Amino acid sequence: MLVPDDLRYAETHEWLRVDGATGTVGVTDHAQAELTDVVYVELPHIGTIVEAHQAVAVVESVKAASDIYAPVGGEIVGVNGALETNPALVNTDPYNAGWLFKLKLSNPDEVAGLKSAAEYRSQIGA
């Protein structure tokens, strides 16, 4: 399983890439493998204020529908519109083209509460 070292990870299998005051969120390679073929992604609305651990999106696969949680709190400032026509990007490129949403961090200190790549590898047994 691919677990990039430059990201932070939630116990619920979301990743966060921080760039200044903005965080990009997606699901991990481990999560997409468990979901199998993603067929639909319900993205949050831009402008929505979310709290850490709040369900903000849904990923549907041939196997199940799964809530996606905000790893940290903030305001949704972008969504990956490419997923509307090609939800399989979550499977084929989970850490780049398959990102889900971007948020403006309300409390950057929350990032420290997420797992490092090493801690996440330990969680998933990788």
Per-residue confidence at 1, pLDDT binned at 50, 70, 90? Answer: confident
Round the average pLDDT of the chain to a whole number and report it: 96
E-only strand ranges, 10-119: 14-19, 22-27, 38-42, 49-50, 55-61, 65-69, 74-79, 101-105
What pLDDT, in 10s, does the model give residues 7-34? 999 999 999 999 999 999 999 999 999 9
What pLDDT, in 10s, does the model give residues 45-70? 999 999 999 999 999 999 889 999 99
Beta-strand pair 55-61/49-50: unpaired
Domains and CATH numbers, the chain: 23-112 (2.40.50.100)
The pTM (predicted TM-score) of the whole model is 0.96
- Eight-class DSSP state of 79: E
Per-residue confidence at 75, pLDDT binned at 50, 70, 90? Answer: very high
